[in-house]
Amino acid sequence: MARKARRRSLEGFREIRDLVESLNYRVDAVLVEGRHDAETLRRLGFRGRIVRVSDYGAPLVELAYEVSKRTRSVAVLTDFDEKGELIARKLTAVLQELGVRINYRAREEFREVLAKHGLRTIESIASLAPRRDHGL
């Protein structure tokens, strides 16, 4: 049974890693909630710009405006809990108004894979990593 669970986790980890790799070609930037989320995406191979919501003490509208000045397309990968969903909705609405293309599909793909494994946060992806890669 443990072997089956490990195999399932490894499959989930590979799915996420593939999603991250595809982001390198699909978006200019990714928006995440905090430092651990950003570190996780870097370790998984994301090479683009990562904007951390936690770095901005300003309202989300101001963050969206700053992002729109330098970015044409984004994926909003805030967590899939209540707080993360609220941030995602607000950012998405403002960014869209400012002409930034939102990659909704990326968020849904991440949501699906994480949900299959009972996860709701970007930083929790590390729990899917093979033992030797646990630190990603």
Q: How big is the chain, counted in residues?
A: 136
Could you give the dihedral angle defined by the CA atoms of residues 135, 49, 85 and 65, in that order, rounded to the nearest 10 degrees? Answer: 150
For residue 64, give Cα distances in angstroms to 7, 16, 21, 35, 69: 39, 26, 24, 18, 9
Q: What percent of the chain has pLDDT over 90?
A: 72
What's the pLDDT at 48? 95
Q: Name the average pLDDT for the chain.
A: 89
Residue 13 and residue 44 in contact, taking contact as beta carbons nearer than 8 Å? no
Tell me if the pTM is above 0.75. Answer: yes
What's the pLDDT at 129? 78
Of the candidates 56, 42, 4, 22, the one whose C-alpha atom is nearest the C-alpha of residue 125 is 42
For 27-71, what is each residue's pLDDT tens digit? 999 999 999 999 999 999 999 999 999 888 778 999 999 999 999
Kindly list the structural domains of the chain, giving each domain's residue range(s) and its CATH number in brackets, ordered by start.
Answer: 2-123 (3.40.1360.10)
